Structure 1
Amino acid sequence: MQVQVETFTVHKRFPLRISRGTTTGSTNIWLKVQQDGIEGWGEASPFSVGDRPQTTETLVAALNSFIPELEGLSPLDRQQIEAILQDSQLPSAARAALDLAFHDWLGKKVGLPLWRLWGLDHRRMVPISVTIGINTPEGAKARVEDWLNYLDVRVLKVKLGSPEGIEADREMFKAVQSTAPPDAVLYVDANGGWSLSDAVKMCDWLATLGVKYVEQPLAAEIALQQLPQLYDRSPLPIFVDESCFNSGDIPVLAGCVHGINIKLMKSGGLTEAWRMVHTAKALGLKVMFGCYSDSCLANSAASHLASVADYLDLDSHLNLIDDPFVGSTVKQGCLIPNDLPGLGVQKKSS
């Protein structure tokens, strides 16, 4: 098995501002696994949560140092590879790139798309949300209009947790709601930007406006201590993102949240994402899939598993002006994988 690591840079059509900062683009990793004349593709995108930043440089270095561990193995040797990965310190996004490439290779080997290999049903797919970053009320209105001109928008995720405080959040949310279609579904993601008292106030207020759920209202470093209090007080379902990386994080959260956000870069790929789905559902929790600055490659991978999710936030590639890949496409608001084998992702023709 041969493994190649390349980087590619993508730029956002519209910068995305959340409570922790603003992003305008990223340099991601395109990983290729080759064996028996078949090439499987994976992606790693950098992200930072708390004291666990995963930069492009650290991901590339980690992958290059790990590749010799795979010498003599095949993409079919998943149990052996899993054991090696468990003993390594490979960052989760680097594991995700490898895992996606192995899945892509397997699908191409047997000539089936992953969703078909897993026996999943597209008719169970829910629409994806599109994201409105923190902005002024006027800027938020303009961003909603941009999305409406670009896509059949059915669900909006509104980023709150503004450094200017919850009054700024309220003004921005009202601007979004006034511009969105009357039948649009609205979610809120605070990215840990609220205190407990502000979270209680905002959940009470947002519940009167028809919001479906609030994601990561409290910072990850205090969430475990304060989520039980919010859980008891909030009229809205509470989801967590930054507080939940993998299946091992879920049991302790089960009594104080209603759902989790699974991201391939956090989980380490589709293999662990499956474990998280089963763990969460066994504990009575809802599941959503999200993304970072992922291209169509990683989001297409997530779309193959998307029919088992209750909510989907896989819109990052739709905000890129120079995504090098094509794969799953949006139909009637849903991100639908195609019938090509593996991930169904191809390089755009130049």
Structure 2
Amino acid sequence: MQIRLQTFTVNKRFALTISRGTTAKTTNLFVRLEHDGIEGWGEASPFSIGETPQTTEALARSLQRVMPLLAPYHPLERDKVDRLLKDSQVPSAARSAIDMAMHDWLGHASGVPLWHLWGLNRENIVPTSVTIGISTPAAAQERVKNWLGMSSEIQSLKVKLGSPAGIAADQAMLQEVMETAPHIKKVSIDANGGWNLKDAVMMSYWLAEQGIDYIEQPLAKGNEDDLQKLYAVSPLPIFVDESCFTSADIPGLVDRCHGINIKLNKCGGLTEATKMIHAAKTFGLGVMFGCYSDSTLMNTALAQLAPLADHLDLDSHLNLLDDPFEGALFQNGRVVPNNNPGLGVALRAKDAAT
């Protein structure tokens, strides 16, 4: 199989601020895999957790290094390819792009969408949340209005907290959000590791009083011992994101969280995402899907597995000014994969012509 790489830059309609910083645009990688005249597509977007950021440049270098090694393989040899990529120390986001492209190739070769190939029921897909970044209360109010102005079908909000200004600022912002959208009954919180244990305990009780559904990553990665202490007293379910990369991490988190957040860049692709889903459910944990600065291509890929998720946070493509792809549909607040083969993703007309 032959691999081609292309970079593309996506700009957000509204910059997103979390506890670790602000993002207004990213440059992502578009991976095109060709074999027997059939193409499969994948995407990698940069992200940073811990000491080794997965930058666009690092992802591109790693793929260019292994592209000649991938030539002898067939797109159906996912296990062999995954072992080669891991042995070659290819970062997870780059592995995910290759894995995604191999799945897309399989769907095109079979002539059916992946959700259908896996026997999944799209009616089981829950609404996706849309994200409100850290800001002033007034700016948060405007962001909620912008989302609701884009679609009256929005049913769920995810609010980023963990403000450097402290939990009083978090509380003021959330109250403004709740007052601006009183008809939205499902609201979750993502602190992105921005709290210490004392503040997290205090906020868990206060957030429960506000009717919040669950808290995501209240403590920073590396503080899993404190996470266990929070888990023991929190009145709200706790989901982990940065603390859980792959299925291998799940057994060690069973006694300190209620669920996990799966992201393709982070875990290494649809193959590993499937393993994580089954592992989490085996241990009685909830499953949510999330995203970074991903386009329609990547969010459509993860949406293929969306019938298996309890919560969805696949809204990054909805906040892009210049998404080059079209794929999953936004229906009744849900991100729903279409009936086209593979991932069901195509280039928008203006991008296909360039």
Task: Give the structure-1-normalised TM-score.
Answer: 0.99
Q: Does the 8 Å contact 1:153/1:184 carry over to 2?
A: no
Where does 1:1-350 land on structure 2 (aligned, <5 Å)? 1-151=1-151, 152-222=153-223, 224-350=224-350
The Cα shift of 1:85 comes to 2.4
For the Cα contact (< 8 Å) 2:78–2:99, is it kept in 1? Answer: no
Structure 1 stretches of 4+ with a deviation exceeding 4 A read none
Give the CA deviation at 1:88: 2.1
How much has 1:66 moved relative to structure 2?
A: 1.1
Shift of 1:229: 0.5
Secondary structure (helix, strand or coil) at the match of 2:30 reads strand
Q: Secondary structure at the match of 1:192?
A: coil
Q: State the aligned residue count.
A: 349
Match for 2:246: what amino acid? N
Contact 2:66-2:85 at 8 Å conserved across structures? no
Task: Tell me, in whole angstroms, the C-alpha distance in 1 between the residues paired with 2:140 and 2:59.
Answer: 34
**SS of equivalent residue, structure 1 residue 292:** coil
Unaligned runs of 5+ in 2: none
Matched letter for residue 146 of structure 2: D
**For residue 154 of structure 2, what is the amino acid of its counterpart?**
V
Amino acid paired to 2:235: P
| 1:258-279 CA-partner distances (Å, limit 9, x unpaired) | 0000000001010000000001
**1:190·1:215 contact (CA, 8 Å) conserved in 2?**
yes
Q: Deviations over 1:285-329 (max 9, x none)?
A: 000000000000000001000000000000000000000000001
Kindly provide the CA deviation profile for residues 143-201 of structure 1, in whole angstroms up to 9, marking residues without a partner as x. Answer: 00000000221000000000000000000000000001424310000000000000000
For 2:19, give the aligned amino acid: S
CA distance in 2, matches of 1:96, 1:121: 24
Aligned-partner SS, 2:250: helix
Please state whether the residue corresponding to 2:222 is helix, strand or coil: helix
Q: Distance in 2 between matches of 1:248 and 1:238?
A: 19
- Rounded to whole Å, the distance in 1 between the matches of 2:111 and 2:15 is 38
Q: 2:180 corresponds to which letter in structure 1? A: T
State percent identity of aligned pairs.
57
The whole-number CA distance in structure 2 between the counterparts of 1:206 and 1:83 is 43
Deviation at 1:52, TM superposition (A): 2.6
SS at match of 2:271: helix
Partner secondary structure for residue 220 of structure 1? coil
* Cα 1:9/1:183, change in 2 over 3 Å: closer
Aligned equivalents of 1:105 and 1:64: distance in 2? Answer: 20
| Residues 22-31 or 70-79, more deviating | 70-79
In structure 2, give the amino acid aligned to 1:338. N
Q: TM-score, normalised by structure 2?
A: 0.98
Give the CA deviation at 1:68: 1.5
Q: Which runs of 5+ in 1 are unaligned?
A: none
Q: Distance in 2 between matches of 1:337 and 1:303?
A: 6
* SS of residue in 2 equivalent to 1:119: coil
For the Cα contact (< 8 Å) 2:11–2:322, is it kept in 1?
A: yes
CA distance in 1, matches of 2:231, 2:225: 11
Which residue identity is paired with 1:143? R
SS class of match (1:8): strand
Q: Output one character per residue of 1:120-160: Cα deviation in whole Å (capped at 9) or x when no partner.
A: 00111100000000010000000000000002210000000
